[in-house]
Amino acid sequence: MTGRRIAWAVWLIAAAALWLFENNAATLTLLLASLLLPCLSILLAVRTAKRAHIRISAPECAAKQAKVQLTFEANAHLMGTLVCENPLCGETAQLSLRWVPPQLTLSASHCGTLHLHVAAFVEDIFGLWRSKSLPCAEEYVSVLPALFLSQITQTENTTVISDSEQYSQTKPGSDPSETFAIREYLPGDPIRQIHWKLSQKSDQLMMRELGLPVVNQTLLVFRNVLLPGTLVSPETADAMAEVFLSVSRALITDGYVHTAAFAEHGQYLLTEVRNEVDFHAMRSRFLALSWEAEDGALARLVSETPYAHVAVVSAVMPPDAASFCRGNRVTVLTPEAAEQAAGVFAVPFTEENYPNELQRIEL
């Protein structure tokens, strides 16, 4: 715009000099037209800007690789810039609009939540004046991942530390350290559960019902944190997101209640996933994630709230992965080639073929 104003000023000086030297009606008409037409164009643009408004509409969700149809509602011819940001995959695209169109189609190449923002303004036809950016509410589009089928196998964990085992206070089970209730002996009851001291006092056999371990002892983590100076490509972030959600979906399909965790504002948000409703609620919040700085929050979480099975989806092998092990099994699913460590099992996958490579996962 500054260049156009300088060019207009030079043109006016040249037209004025021509009129002074020629001093006829033609050169005077040229000078007046060069002055009045741009001024009239600016006045019309200022008047239009006072009543101009714009609104953008977009679908709430779309499938990955699908076309996203955007609709613009404006009452004037506007210029603008469309900014499309996907924090989960770290993508930002900016499209200059010479004239804001009634409709525009975008391609959603990676999963996540698209933040759509339009900066629109009114400009005169000579490009000498531009209004302030008109207010326009942002729109959000959830681009759903393409989940793949995976068969999850949970290994028997016989080395879990006792502090990490939780037992039901409402149902009997098989925990030898927790007594759920005392009752009389019934034929067929296991002899090892007879309470001998109480039986001797009461002169009849009394049974000790044992506590039931709580089913939910699986922590599934999406490690959306980065060390200083590191970056994750959109393709890697997209693959990690689909692996995380596919494993979560497979767990509830196979009847495994689990806790999903991902970083939000410096701490890990925990969501218990018991069924499809919980999964969809968790997925909506997950798709809006962004990447944060690593501060050791995951190690603190695992130390404060131990789990029998910890599965971490990470861009690289966490440098503090050994601290996740407290007698439990830790599995790291990562696109990085990583060696197995004591207590930490690395499950590698590639960005190109992870649906086939992770058809069977042992946690």
Confidence of residue 169 (pLDDT cuts 50, 70, 90): very low
- What does the DSSP 8-state code read for residue 163? G
Tokens of 7: 């060019």
pLDDT for 255: 83
Cα dihedral 196/201/206/212 (nearest 10): -70
Sequence ranges of the domains in the chain: 2-51, 54-144, 151-156+215-362, 172-213
Name the fold adopted by 54-144.
Immunoglobulin-like (2.60.40)
For residue 124, is pLDDT > 50? yes
Summarize pLDDT for 222-247 with one digit per residue, the tens. 999 988 888 899 999 999 999 999 99
Confidence of residue 40 (pLDDT cuts 50, 70, 90): very high
Which class is 151-156+215-362 in CATH?
A: alpha beta
pLDDT for 301: 84
Task: Say which residue the tokens 């759903």 belong to.
Answer: 144
Q: Please give the span between the terminal C-alpha atoms of the chain, in angstroms, as a whole number.
A: 61
pLDDT for 192: 64
Task: Say which residue the tokens 């969809």 belong to.
Answer: 280
pLDDT for 210: 54
Task: Say which residue the tokens 């504002």 belong to.
Answer: 265
Amino acid at 214: V
Closest among 61, 107, 50, 53 to 80, alpha carbons compared: 53
| Model confidence, pTM | 0.76
Separation between Cα atoms, residue 214 and residue 308, nearest integer Å: 11
Closest among 273, 299, 331, 304 to 164, alpha carbons compared: 304
For residue 165, is pLDDT > 60? no
pLDDT for 309: 87
pLDDT for 363: 85
Q: Which of 162-176, 182-196, 273-287, 316-330 has the lowest mean pLDDT?
A: 162-176
Summarize pLDDT for 77-122 with one digit per residue, the tens. 899 999 999 999 999 999 998 888 889 999 888 999 999 999 999 9
Q: Which of 49-58, 118-127, 170-179, 337-346 has the lowest mean pLDDT?
A: 170-179
pLDDT for 221: 95
Give yes or no for a contact between 83 and 92, defined as CB atoms under 8 angstroms apart: yes
For residue 261, is pLDDT > 70? yes
